[in-house]
Chains A and B, each alone.
Chain A
Amino acid sequence: MKNKKIMNLVLIGIAVMIAVMPLILIKGSEFGGADGKAEEVVKETNPGYEPWIESFWAPPGGETESLLFALQAAIGSGVVCMVIGYYKGRKDGRRLSVSDR
């Protein structure tokens, strides 16, 4: 149990480092999406191509879009944490009911 906790902390630490490193190492980049670049490649390989349909609804601006992304992450992590909490509570409950006897 304790080993697993330490291992998890180390793994999360590495994950954070991998995510933060580019921000420190690469200057002058806005870290735009890779799909923006894909759009350029489409224009390059298939110069005549025009997107034939547009999204019928898009968030009006950056703020609303980040709200929706934050909401998505919040709902997702809420459910993940709830399930973890459910199993932890169940395990603790079992242990307590065993020690009661």
Chain B
Amino acid sequence: MKNLKFVILFFMLPSNLFSMHIMEGFLPPLWAGFWWLAALPFIWLGIRSVQKIVNAKPELKPLIAMAGAFAFVLSALKIPSVTGSSSHMTGVALGTLMFGPFTMALLGFIVLLFQALLLAHGGITTLGANTISMAVAGPMIAYFVFSLCRKIGVNERMGIFTAAFLCDIFTYVVTSAQLAFAHPAADGGVAVSIVKFLAVFAITQVPLAVIEGLLTVVVFNILSSYAIDEMKGLGFLKFTMEEQYEK
């Protein structure tokens, strides 16, 4: 039953040849360097955070692998959207909700590096900017939103959905801002430019963000059925022992 998801996903494999990250050469050297510098400390925090988890709780290794793999799958799937163009999801919310805001900075960076090197999807010079948008800004929002949802007592699955949805949207808001700062409009400057880039990315991304939210909840459902100890250790699943055995 749970394999059905992947069977379905396989039918939606990409059939066209575009990328959604900022392409190689599309940020001037100064901005490319700026975003690289901005991304480096987060990548370092990501390495530290993965090390910490692996040292303190080695039993969580499979879940880390899964968080990275989930981002790997979702960012390979280019899905048609209502605007008549295609885009792909980020898949970084899952790992963020399990391990905190920094783990995915490293895992997302690895995914982006693979795509930049092997697929000419994104680029090496724009890798810093793409890391900031997909692997830093998105996860930050996801973490913040999910913590907020928990605090005000929103249903756990609703919180996961909302966090993953906003994570996906915010990634492309940041991408638009990065492009707008580097390419301000001649009349009206950055503000006009940002609206134009948002018009390209944001609307396309809304349905995809919904899909990402749904799939993230699906994976949480599966994990909470089977990896009960781990999920409890990570602060999910607050039901009693009897309930556990029932499930």
Contacts and interface: CB of A to CB of B under 8 A. Distances in A.
Interface of A: 1, 4-5, 7-9, 11-12, 14-16, 18-19, 21-23, 25-26, 29-39, 41-42, 44-47, 49, 51-59, 62, 65-66, 68-70, 72-73, 75-81, 83-84, 86-88, 90-91
B43 interface: no
Contacts of B14: 66, 69-70
Interface string B51-67: 00000000000110110
B207 A18 contact: yes
B201 interface: yes
> Which among A25, A34, A87 has the highest number of chain B CB atoms within 10 Å?
A34
Interface of B: 1-6, 8-10, 12-26, 28-29, 62-63, 65-66, 68-87, 114-120, 123-125, 179-180, 183-186, 192-193, 196-197, 200-201, 204-205, 207, 210-211, 214-215, 217-219, 221-228, 230, 246-247
A88 to B, nearest CB: 5
A4 B10 CA distance: 23
Contacts of A33: 16-20, 78, 85-87
Nearest to B70: A80
